Amino acid sequence: MSTFRGILLTKSDAVFSAAVSDIECSQLPPDGDVEVALEYSTINYKDALAISNTAPVVRRWPMVPGIDGAGVVVSSRHPAWKVGDKVIHNGYGVGEVHWGCLAQVARLKGDWLVPLPDGISTRQAMAIGTAGYTAMLCVMALQQQGVTPARGEILVTGASGGVGSIAIAILAGLGYTVAASTGKLEEADYLKAIGAAEVIDRVVLSAPGKPLQKERWAGVVDSVGSHTLANACAQMQYGGIVAACGLAQGMDFPASVAPFVLRGVALLGIDSVMAPQERRRAAWLRLAAELDRTKLDAIGRQIPLGEVISAAAEVMAGRVRGRLIVNLN
């Protein structure tokens, strides 16, 4: 095969283009040591930013976007991988400085790859994707800090998004009582179907609030940031744990130190892009063992490669629920 299909982003003299293209294999990055025939990818918010040229995500041109991919190794110069191995890729600056996974072929670094766990298909892996892997990292952080179901309710913000949806499914499966905060109250039935015990209008949390509020949450999974995160911290139980992994509302954090010094609240930052391999593999093994994969059909919707560019615009407009799975073939 001398060419493959993929999304190619180009920029010349400030003129930007995103198109489904036939790409020459000779254009693949020379610094990758594992070539993967990708079967599925997905569209994350960062991918949508790149495809729509809304933010300066791409730092090298031309670029194939796509931070997530799952497929089969077709050639390898890396000692850990052989032809036929099924692998997952998440993060590591792919789709920004290194060609990504919204294409039928990717040449990646073997140190970036995770083995596909037993019991999960490549399609299911992309229904989970970085969003679900990040959600599991958040759950692991809460548990490592001693947040058990008996401690009380868990708040999940940005609940109808990918991280929020899968966090709800994981937490509910582990026996936690979950409150889902969303700006899409029409999705209440969906959120309850995947495990939420209660649905909260995001306006309750998204406006400026008092530095200390009535104690409620034992733990929080927050993908929103800004006032939402500040209010969540202000509503924590004594010794509560907040896992922060996103900034959908904003990068700012308009809070005070009151929850931390008066209630012993802990705020944990969760990074999925450069997380070490040991933590990645642990998260994926737990996803395989603990996530009710029957819920993935409700959380994810499949599209072909040809619909990626229009779907990215839908992501940017906030009109996508859960996950978008891209069938690359």
pLDDT at 1 over 80: no
pLDDT in tens, 299-310: 999 999 999 999
Burial class (CB in 10 A: 0-12, 13-18, 19+), 143: middle
pLDDT in tens, 14-27: 899 999 999 999 99
- The predicted structure's pLDDT at residue 24: 95
- The predicted structure's pLDDT at residue 182: 96
Nearest to 41 by CA among 17, 19, 66: 66
pLDDT at 96 over 80: yes
Q: What is the dotted CATH code of the domain comprising 129-269?
A: 3.40.50.720
Distance CA 182, CA 160 (A): 6
- If you average pLDDT over residues 257-280, what whole number do you get? 97
CB 290 within 8 A of CB 174: yes
pLDDT at 318 over 90: no
pLDDT at 73 over 90: yes
Which residue's entry shows tokens 């994350």?
44
- If you average pLDDT over residues 91-116, what whole number do you get? 97
- If you average pLDDT over residues 73-87, what whole number do you get? 98
Confidence at 8, pLDDT banded by 50, 70, 90: very high
pLDDT in tens, 206-256: 999 999 999 999 999 999 999 999 999 999 999 999 999 999 999 999 999
pLDDT at 13 over 90: no
Q: What is the dotted CATH code of the domain comprising 3-116+293-327?
A: 3.90.180.10
- The predicted structure's pLDDT at residue 14: 83
Q: Domain limits of the chain? A: 3-116+293-327, 129-269
pLDDT in tens, 138-157: 999 999 999 999 999 999 99
- The predicted structure's pLDDT at residue 69: 98
Both structure tokens of 192: 């309850």
How much is the mean pLDDT over the chain? Answer: 96
Please give the helix or strand (H or E) that residue 73 lies within, else none: strand 68-76
Phi-psi region of 318 (alpha: psi -120 to 50; beta: other; left: phi over 0): left
Query: What value, to the nearest 5°, has the Cα angle with vertex 210 and ends 207 and 215?
Result: 105
DSSP letter string, 184-233: -GGGHHHHHHTT-SEEEETHHHHS---SS----EEEEEES-BHHHHHHHH
